[in-house]
């Protein structure tokens, strides 16, 4: 992903800024799905894409889709 300059970031709309990195990066964070612990894959815009029962499976799915996995703490 190409870094964004501070000047350009200031000119982006909120919607454009939220979409920056879509299709290139995805985040993984712990979640609860149907009462069970899981790992949610979150798009660059903050939307939940899907969830997996293990961190390894979630990261693998991101990599298989040619994106960079990042962790949220």
Looking at residue 2, what DSSP letter applies? Answer: -
- Tally of structural domains, the chain: 1
pTM: 0.67
- In a domain, residue 62? The reply is yes
51-73: per-residue pLDDT in tens?
A: 999 999 999 998 998 887 876 65
Q: Could you tell me what percent of the chain has a pLDDT over 90?
A: 34
- In a domain, residue 1? The reply is no
**Contact at 8 Å (CB) between 18 and 46?**
yes
How far is Cα 31 from Cα 17, in angstroms, rounded to an integer? 25
For residue 15, give its domain range. Answer: 6-71
Average pLDDT of 37-45? 88
24, pLDDT greater than 90? no
């Amino acid at each position: 992903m190409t870094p964004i300059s501070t000047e350009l970031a200031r000119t982006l709309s909120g919607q454009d800024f939220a979409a920056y990195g879509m299709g290139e990066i995805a985040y993984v964070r712990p979640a609860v799905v149907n009462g069970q612990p899981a790992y949610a894959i979150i798009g660059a815009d903050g939307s939940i894409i899907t969830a997996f029962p293990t961190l390894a499976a979630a990261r693998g799915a991101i990599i298989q889709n040619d994106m960079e996995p990042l962790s949220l703490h």
